[in-house]
Amino acid sequence: MQKLAGRGDEVVAGSFDLVIVGAGFAGLYMLHLARRMGFSAVVLEAAPGVGGTWFWNRYPGARCDVESMQYSYSFSEELQQEWHWSERYASQPEILAYANYVAWKFDLFCDIEFNTRVLAAAFQEDDCRWVVSTDQGMRYRAKWCVMATGCLSAAQIPSIPGLDSFQGPVYHTGSWPHEPVSLAGQSVGVIGTGSSGIQVIPEIAAQAGHLYVFQRTPNYSVPARNRPMDAEYESSWKAEYAQRRKKARAMSAGLLWDQGDKSALAVSPEERLQEYERRWAAGGTGIMAAYSDLLQNADANETVAEFVRGKIRNVVERSEVAELLVPVDYPIGAKRTCADTKYFETFNRENVTLVDHRASPIREMSSNGITAGSEFFRLDSLVLATGFDAMTGAISKIDIVGRRGLNLKEKWLNGPNTLLGLMTAGFPNLFIVTGPGSPSVLTNMIPSIEDNVQWIADCISHISEEGADFIEATGPAEETWMGEVRRAAEGTLFVQAKSWYLGVNVPGKPAVFMPYAGGMPAYQRICEEVAADGYRGFAIGTR
């Protein structure tokens, strides 16, 4: 890296066509495409390694809930043929190994600055360049700035009075230590029963002396039925990967699964039960694809919700505990449906206590434990499975200043506004991968990432060929798109749960449904049409 003299204490690290922030699956692919198109690029990454989500989330039990054969890049036939996944649902270490393999295979490491957190990015109107500053005292100049900072990368720490006074270790699942953590024989508290909590709780219960699970909202979860990869299944995918990936992209969630085309209400209760039992036995979240209207029609949804509630009641032996674990006040699927391994069974263990902190709110922590309601629980260690400031958290932590001093955090004070989730008005040449206003977290993320990154690369290429200096979302087009995002959500049951899709897990965050719920095929079609129509809704110009 070339170091030039800079202003003040900062050193100018160099000028590039692109600065990419983040070395998860989005940043890695962006770098690869930029290079292939002949652009110079640097990736700035806060972590000391690649992998993003899979670098940070090292808690026991961490794994994906999209089948491995689909939770992987499709851009290289050679890569998808040569990589072997050892399980139906890959574990965190295996996905991290995959990310490292990709970075090695495509020779990406040399253009990544690790241990480098981006603190600020400012657009300079005179030369249409972004100046990106880091915690290493470096400044990078680039025409294009791509935020590949991740939708679930800013850990949400609850504000519990006295948390700092707790003498034992506190772990957040989203920044788990790299050294092995032993909780053997300890009294452990876990706060949170979302996707991460549901994965980590059975693992901790198996080693802790006693585990207290602090639950605010019970979650629907289905058995993953994870197992070693079946060789025939793997071969069948590899034999027709291209066709299957294409079919997957034609599905709303970007996932190839057995999507029923009938309404749940159009079949007899007996037929429905048989279908739900079949999918329950198969494992995974495919039960939500049993009928066409499970996420649109409340009555249809109630049929599958009630089926899952029955399963929870069957598994959990103590009825008063089962009732606490059964979600009743929101539709299934309105929050991310979890896939678990013996989660509900864990509550039959003698060393596990479920604490309903909706009824007995967590009041404070002290040096050796936590008080919820009027009860004190002595703890040696605390695990926060409290999720993320989703979709906007990582970007908002960066001080991003666009045209005429416009600050992105201030612009998004009442909720994020974007055009297609890809750009936001007032911030020329700044792209976001799977940003708010794109389907992102409602889909299998890797294809969504690939499609966004490809669109950005094509756009940069087009603007460069045109000899233009900038592209920018226009205000009216952005407003129209945000209306579309609201309309798409209104037609679904997603808005009926207090979920991180709406940001309500973060105190003070405006309750706005952030992802586009119109499905991946509709979104992709719109993105393609916009580009084909000369980037309709975007302003392209010279300085």
- The residue ranges that bind ligand FAD (CB under 6 A) are 21-27, 44-47, 52-53, 55, 57, 62, 64-66, 71, 117-118, 148-153, 196, 394, 398, 433-434, 444-445, 449
C-beta of 149 vs 524, nearer to ligand FAD: 149
Cβ density class 476-498: b for 16+ within 10 Å, e for less: ebbeebbebbeebbeebbbbebb
C-beta closer to ligand FAD: residue 95 or 211 = 95
Q: How far is the CB of 393 from ligand FAD (least distance, A)?
A: 9
Residue 235 exposed, middle or buried by CB count within 10 Å (0-12, 13-18, 19+): exposed
Which of 150/402 has CB closer to ligand FAD? 150
Q: In angstroms, give the least distance from the CB of 44 to ligand FAD.
A: 5
> Between 189 and 192, whose beta carbon lies closer to ligand FAD?
192
Residues in contact with 517: Cβ distance below 8 Å, sequence separation at least 6, in sequence order: 439, 442, 485, 488, 489, 491, 492, 494
Query: In this complex, which beta carbon is closest to ligand FAD, that of residue 445 or of residue 517?
Result: 445
**DSSP at 397:** T
Look up residue 419 and give its DSSP letter.
Answer: B
From the list 137, 132, 136, the residue with the least C-alpha distance to 149 is 132
Measured from the CB atom, the residue of 191 and 394 that comes closer to ligand FAD is 394
Tokens representing 321 are 């505990």
Min. distance of Cβ 119 from ligand FAD in angstroms?
Answer: 7
Q: Considering the complex, what minimum distance in angstroms separates the CB of residue 512 from ligand FAD?
A: 20
Output the CA torsion 138→140→146→148 (10° steps).
-20
Nearer to ligand FAD, 55 or 494 (CB): 55
How wide is the angle at C-alpha 393 spanned by C-alphas 507 and 181, nearest 5°?
Answer: 90
Q: Which is nearer to ligand FAD, 75 or 377 (CB)?
A: 75
User: Minimum distance between the CB of residue 388 and ligand FAD, rounded to whole angstroms?
Assistant: 7
Shortest Cβ 210–ligand FAD spacing (Å)? 25
Q: Residue 441 corresponds to which amino acid?
A: V
End-to-end CA distance of the chain: 29
Nearest partner of 475 among 418, 429, 533, 523, judged by Cα: 418
Give dist(CA 267, CA 269) in Å, integer: 7
Nearer to ligand FAD, 119 or 539 (CB): 119
Q: Which residues of 337-369 are buried (b: 16+ CB within 10 A; e: fewer)?
A: bbbbbbbbebbeeeebebbbbeeeebbebeeeb
CA nearest neighbour of 59 among 186, 204, 160: 204
Q: Considering beta carbons, is residue 449 or 517 the nearer one to ligand FAD? A: 449
Least distance to ligand FAD from the beta carbon of 484, Å? 23
Q: Report residue 507 as tokens.
A: 């105190």
Minimal distance, residue 285 CB to ligand FAD, in Å: 9
Q: How far is the CB of 246 from ligand FAD (least distance, A)?
A: 18
Cβ-based neighbour number of residue 115 at 10 Å: 13
Nearest distance in Å: CB 179, ligand FAD: 19
